[in-house]
Chain A
Amino acid sequence: METRELNCIVCPMGCPITVTLENGEVTSVTGNTCPRGEKYAKQEVVAPIRSVTSTVKVLGGEWPTVACKTKTEIPKGKIFEVMDALKGVSVDAPVNIGDVIIENVAGTNVNIIATSNVKAC
């Protein structure tokens, strides 16, 4: 039996969570104060996932960058591959929240979408 101590990152409460595993299977989750914490803990010990937020260049906009994010979480181990994929990418203004900037980024089946509006200038 293996136990893992985690700090939940789902919300600002940051509950301390204890997960026990047997042969790689989660057998118990304690310390969480909501169901989302349990879901996080089970995922975190088996295959951790994260959202990535960053920026890409904008051409002809009132700002030189636009904020963007992975639409959903991606495997934690893929964070830097996603960042590499964003390098050198530029979009033309105007850009609006929700616009798809990259489809299927770094083979994750997740799109990069814009999270800020940049007007053309």
Chain B
Amino acid sequence: MLNYDLVIIGGGPAGLAAAISAKDNGIDSILILERDKELGGILNQCIHNGFGLHTFKEELTGPEYAERFIKEVLGRKIEYKLNTMVMDLGKDKTVTAMNREDGLIQIKAKAVILAMGCRERSRGALNIPGFRPAGIYSAGTAQRLVNREGFMPGKEVVILGSGDIGLIMARRMTLEGAKVKVVAELMPYSGGLKRNIVQCLDDFGIPLKLRHTVVDIEGRDRVKAVTIAEVDENNKPIKGTEERYECDTLLLSCGLLPENELSRSAGVDLSPVTSGPIVNDSLETNIPGIFACGNVLHVHDLVDYVSKESTTAGENAAKYILSFNENDSPDRVVKINTENGVRYSVPAFVRPDKMADNLTVRFRVGNVYKNVNLCVYANDTLLQKLPKKIMAPGEMEQIILIKNKLNEVSDLNTITIKIEEA
């Protein structure tokens, strides 16, 4: 059995930022476990630019952004194991992992940071009718094939879902000579950033069909054609609106799901809304000493926010390791309710006595809202009212909760974040 103060599961942007921050906050015994053959996670295949505008005030590509954090990790001599798959996480913070050099290893940790990221919703999860030929890929798989492995998955492409990876891949495949015929999106709005609609679709004349879905896939061995149709208000295809596109490839960009098998086996409580752990203001789960950050916690739109959130997780894990005392009485916690279009919040609970002076709360909304007020209540007292020109499901929102203001409210028992008419 190996012993470390802190084990971080995942060496992507979340794990890297958490490791740096834990080290800088006084923890020397840190181990990062990464299943791929290099650090950096999915950023390594995101060769497009637009990363780091908040963090570095310049526009970087994914690998460049990752490299800045990898350098910091290496400079601090933080230990890591590559090609290492974590098999199990126990409630007692015992991590079971496996790789070719060490075989099966067990690591006892004082604290664990979950930083496993997320994965794409698959065809199986989407229930698309039709044959099951070759040529159907998730957008992220196609991205890995084109950008890292160096080959093209197809020549004529239909994309279902307008998430950012799908939009980015529409442009990427076009640049590499493929014909992207259409992007179909079930929702009445795109799940991706506006800038990506402009520079990935509009720039190349690729049509985006909102309120459309795939109703048939043809081809026994290889995709031959895909039929899309408009959907009604219940998302059911409308007869007579079918359009058939001959193609050899269908890419799926239909949302991301936090990857929480390990969390679940450890007994971490998960949110039915985000599929990620339910955490308090220190990003700690229901199991003391197990923290979560990045896309395993909730799916982010910008890596900059992942890095920020993970820095907080690293700092809090360090605090936990340095000051843990099992005789401490449990903390007073207050739930954050989310209503009127606010789907969830991270954190879901705050500890009014221990929270940061200015606590960043991140959330997403369930629809497109224009000219509304974002309101924060402590019990029934209105604490903040922020006018918002636009809020959309594709974009993560945040507000800052101020500790002093919350603690001025007597008998604080709930905090509510909601959208109100302006």
Contacts and interface: CB of A to CB of B under 8 A. Distances in A.
Interface of A: 6-12, 14, 50-55, 57, 62-65, 67-69, 76, 79-80, 83, 97, 115-117
A14 B193 contact: yes
A22 to B, nearest CB: 24
B203 A50 contact: yes
A12 B47 contact: no
Contacts, number: 81
Contacts of B62: 67
Given A11-B195, A14-B198, 10 more contacts: A9-B194, A12-B195, A50-B203, A53-B48, A53-B49, A54-B47, A54-B175, A65-B148, A83-B175, A116-B63
A8 B198 CA distance: 8
Interface string B44-79: 100111100100000101111001000000000000
Contacts of B301: 12
Closest 9 CB pairs of A and B: A14-B194, A116-B63, A67-B47, A9-B195, A64-B150, A65-B150, A115-B61, A7-B194, A7-B198
Interface string B25-52: 0000000000001000000100111100
B302 interface: yes
A97 B37 CA distance: 19
Contacts of A57: 150
Contacts of A9: 194-195, 198-199
B395 interface: yes
A80 B195 CA distance: 20
A52 B203 contact: no
A10 B301 CA distance: 15
Contacts of A65: 147-150
Contacts of B197: 7
A20 B63 CA distance: 38
A108 to B, nearest CB: 16
A62 to B, nearest CB: 8
Nearest to B146: A55
Nearest to A56: B150
Contact of B63 (A11, A50, A80, A97): A97
A8 B49 CA distance: 15
A12 B175 contact: no
A71 to B, nearest CB: 11
Contacts of A50: 199, 203
Contacts of A51: 49, 59
Contacts of A10: 195
Q: Which of B64, B198, B301 has the most chain A CB atoms inside 10 A of its CB?
A: B64
Given A53-B49, A54-B175, A12 B63 contact: no
Q: Which of B147, B203, B301 has the most chain A CB atoms inside 10 A of its CB?
A: B147
B195 A116 contact: no
B44 to A, nearest CB: 7
Contacts of B63: 67, 97, 115-117
12 contacts: A7-B198, A9-B194, A11-B195, A12-B53, A12-B195, A14-B193, A51-B49, A65-B149, A69-B49, A76-B203, A97-B63, A116-B67
A8 B48 CA distance: 17
A116 B194 contact: no
Nearest to B65: A115
Contacts of B302: 12
A51 B49 CA distance: 8
A55 B150 contact: yes
A11 B58 CA distance: 10
Interface string B181-198: 000000000000111011
Contacts of B48: 53
Contacts of A62: 37
Nearest to A116: B63
Nearest to A79: B175
Contacts of B194: 7, 9, 14
A117 to B, nearest CB: 7
Q: Which of A14, A54, A55 has the most chain B CB atoms inside 10 A of its CB?
A: A14
Contacts of A79: 175, 203
A118 B192 CA distance: 30
A9 B62 CA distance: 17
Given A55-B147, A67-B47, A8 B203 contact: no
A67 B193 CA distance: 23
Contacts of A83: 175-176
A95 B370 CA distance: 47
